[in-house]
Amino acid sequence: MANLGYVGLGAMGGNMADLLMAKGHKVTGYNRTASKADWLVKKGMTLAASPKAVAQAADVIFVMVTNSAADEAVMNAPDGLLAGMTPGKIVIDMSTVSPAVSRSLAAKVREKGGDMVDAPVSGSIITLQQGKLSVMVGGTTATFDKVKPILDDVGPKVTHVGENGLALVMKIATNLSLAVQMLAFSEGVLLAEKSGISRETAVDVLMHSAIASPMVVYRGPFVLKMPAEAWFNVNMMQKDMLLAMELGRQLDVPLPTTAVTNEFLTAARAMGLVEEDFATIFKVLAQMSGVKP
């Protein structure tokens, strides 16, 4: 049993903290809106008053927040993680943020005598619950070896991809394809539907065809009925697409399908769909096609 901390107990972070407790680990958690962690407290999690308190209580601290600004805030604030760091502690940052920001934060953790790895995941809440989550890790080999037994409890596939920041590059490279696939899937559904095939039939056929990636299997049904709560909303996906395009410019890698798909996310925001799962780009394309979403 490890003595763990968890900062950021949203939909994914909360379920991951729950899983870690189920695996026998002790978890001290913090969430900006404390009431959202009540269900975890009832299951045995200790709720801390600040990220600093989490760092003081735990040996290994997970972080999962929404963007680079939030990541810097929970680390650098007067009551942030860095204020509670002492030599030997390890931060596992699962947030999808700028690789440059992550490297900068890792350097600050090392100044405190600890270490940090970036460890974003590929998958959804459903993937996590099914035990199929994939974890990418960037950091030193020595620290990776220390945290791998804990990460093995999160998902069956844990891969050390290189130095700090490179796991985030891998995550961004993965996520850009999710939105691109969703747009291509939407094109196929709408082409079939306007030809006279029912939407339900088109979705079923495509979900059992050669293009049926895990993303299509999980999100394909969303074009029939969106989930009550977004798995990964428009803003979150667009943040990752913009990170991808920023990297593309830095590395001289053209990302044409990423750029086009990003415009559909912008259109979704303009249509008031920002809180919906990014699969709502189907609605954008449907409206452009003269089809009722």
pLDDT recorded at residue 1: 87
Distance CA 255, CA 234 (A): 19
Q: Domain for residue 293, yes or no?
A: no
**pLDDT, tens digit, 9 for 90 and up, residues 137-162:** 999 999 999 999 999 999 889 999 99
pLDDT of residue 126: 79
Burial class of 163 by CB neighbour count within 10 A (0 to 12, 13 to 18, 19+): middle
Structural tokens at position 268: 């979704």
- The helix, strand and coil proportions of the chain, stated in percent and rounded to the nearest 5, come to 55, 15, 30
Q: Contact, 151 vs 145, CB < 8 A?
A: no
Q: Are residues 192 and 148 in the same domain?
A: no
Task: Tell me: do 242 and 121 sit in the same domain.
Answer: no
- Residues 275, 196 share a domain: yes
- For residue 130, what pLDDT is reported? 81
Q: What is the CATH number of the domain that holds 258?
A: 1.10.1040.10
Q: Are residues 176 and 87 in the same domain?
A: no
Task: Dump pLDDT digits (tens) for 27-69.
Answer: 999 999 999 999 999 999 999 999 999 999 999 999 999 899 9
pLDDT band, residue 21 (cuts 50/70/90): very high
pLDDT digits (tens, 9 = 90+) for 88-117: 999 999 999 999 999 999 999 999 999 999
In a domain? residue 245: yes
- For residue 243, what are the domain limits? 169-288
80 plus 147 within the same structural domain: yes
Q: How confident is the model at residue 121 (pLDDT cuts 50, 70, 90)?
A: very high
CA–CA separation, 29 vs 3, rounded Å?
11
Indicate whether 143 and 256 sit together in one domain. no
Give the domain-ending residue among 108, 138, 163.
163
Residues 45 and 101 in one domain: yes
Domain match, 22 and 116 both:
yes
User: In 10 A of CB 208, how many CB atoms?
Assistant: 12
Report residue 78 as tokens: 């007067």
**Residue 148 known to be catalytic:** no
* Active-site entry in 171, 225, 239, 292: 171
pLDDT at 207 over 90: yes
pLDDT at position 278 is 97
Identify whether 260 is part of a domain: yes
**How far out from the chain centre does Cα 183 lie?**
19
Of the pLDDT bands very low, low, confident and very high (cuts 50, 70, 90), residue 124 is confident
pLDDT at 229: 87
Residues 153, 11: one domain? yes
Q: Is residue 120 part of a domain?
A: yes
| Residue 129 confidence (pLDDT) above 90 | no
Q: Give the chain's domain count.
A: 2
Q: Are residues 240 and 226 in the same domain?
A: yes
Same domain for 27 and 147, yes or no, is: yes
What is the rounded CA–CA span in Å between residue 142 and residue 171? 22
| CATH code for position 102 | 3.40.50.720
Report CA-CA distances (Å) from 232 to 79, 204, 227, 228: 28, 23, 11, 12
